[in-house]
Amino acid sequence: MSGMDARELPLLRVREVARYHGANLGCRNVSFDLWPGEVIAVVGESGSGKTTLLNCLSAQLEPTAGTVRYNSRTDGLQDIYRMSEASRRMLMRTDWGFVHQDARQGLRMRVSAGANVGERLMALGARHYGDIRGEATDWLGKVEIDVGRIDDMPRTFSGGMLQRLQIARNLVTKPRLIFMDEPTGGLDVSVQARLLDLLRELIADFGLSAIIVTHDLAVARMLSHRMLVMHRGEVVETGLTDQVLDDPHHAYTQLLVSSVLQP
């Protein structure tokens, strides 16, 4: 391949991942590579297995079969379910981020906005109060939260602000990979547009890789390079995002694309 090093490794290598809930299928037969700087959208309706897959990929739910390997900074491709609990925790606190649909799940509601952002830095060993506060202030600015709100409790924030705070909390440690579960779900349309634009910028500026679960094809179009379409627990179609949306091949993808209202 021209201009690309064939020896280069993906950031995440997923092979034959399956997860059953008892006898029920969550997802199966999922394989793909995520490359540095790449954003993949996982789309499909509720119950298609996309959230199960995201949990398997982000070390929160061990697959029934298959492997998820992460290219760690020091040791190359490592099976995330075979590494020590301590290494996995370290990974999740530093190299990875996870943005939940409900920001309350990703934030600590009983500590201030600034402390929410500073906490992950402290987990990395930062101890100097002034530095941590400075970094938190900087990040609140990046996600367009009035710096005057730094000492306020998250419960006084609007839904859009909470989501931006959650993003700041995740990105402060400069992760390489971020998982997002319906990041714009439940927000007003105007708030969504602002958040999408912010995410797009942050992803580009930091060269982040991301896996975004969404049922919103417009979100996928705007943020992702590639798409995986899930239906009944399996990936039925993959491709560049514009290919899948403009020339869908699978019957289910065609149904999905044609069901969207074009504003």
Partner 1 sequence: MTLPPSLIVRELSKTFTLHIQGTTLPVLRDIDLTIAPGEAVVLSGPSGAGKSSFMRCVYANYRPQTGSVLVRHDGQLVDMLTAEPREVLEVRRRTMGFVSQFLRVIPRVPTIDVVAEPVRAVGVGREKARERAGELLARLRIPERLWNLPPATFSGGEQQRVNIARGFAHPCPVLLLDEPTASLDARNRDTVVDMIREVREAGTAILGIFHDEAVREDVATRTFEMTPVETSRAA
CB neighbour list of residue 222: distance below 8 Å, 6 or more residues apart: 196, 200
CB of residue 128 to partner 1, shortest distance in Å: 31
* Tokens linked to 257: 């694309």
Nearest partner of 58 among 16, 14, 24, 21, judged by Cα: 14
Task: Determine, following the binding rule CB under 8 A, whether residue 249 of this chain makes contact with partner 1.
Answer: yes
CB of residue 121 to partner 1, shortest distance in Å: 27
As beta bridge partners, residue 98 has: 179
Task: Determine, following the binding rule CB under 8 A, whether residue 254 of this chain makes contact with partner 1.
Answer: yes
Total length of the chain: 263
CB of residue 133 to partner 1, shortest distance in Å: 28
Using CB under 8 A, which of 15, 149, 225, 232 touches partner 1?
225
The values of phi and psi at residue 80, to 5°, are -70, -20
By CB under 8 A, what part of segment 134-173 binds partner 1?
Answer: none
As beta bridge partners, residue 262 has: none
* Tokens linked to 58: 């982000």
Is 149:185 a contact under the CB 8 Å cutoff?
no
Task: Determine, following the binding rule CB under 8 A, whether residue 242 of this chain makes contact with partner 1.
Answer: yes
CA distance 219 to 187: 13
Taking residue 16's Cβ as centre, other Cβ atoms within 10 Å add up to 12
Nearer of residues 1 and 23 to partner 1, judged by Cβ:
1
Give the per-residue contact string, 15-54, with partner 1 (x = CB under 8 A; - = no). --------------------x--x----------------
Using CB under 8 A, which of 94, 222, 232, 234 touches partner 1?
222
By CB under 8 A, what part of segment 173-202 binds partner 1?
Answer: 193-194, 196-197, 200
Task: Determine, following the binding rule CB under 8 A, whether residue 226 of this chain makes contact with partner 1.
Answer: yes
Using CB under 8 A, which of 174, 186, 247, 260 touches partner 1?
247
* Tokens linked to 8: 């280069």
As a whole number of Å, the CA-based R_g of the chain is 19
Count of residues engaged in binding partner 1, rule: CB under 8 A: 26
Site for partner 1, rule CB under 8 A: 1-4, 35, 38, 193-194, 196-197, 200, 222, 225-226, 239-240, 242-243, 246-247, 249-251, 254-255, 258
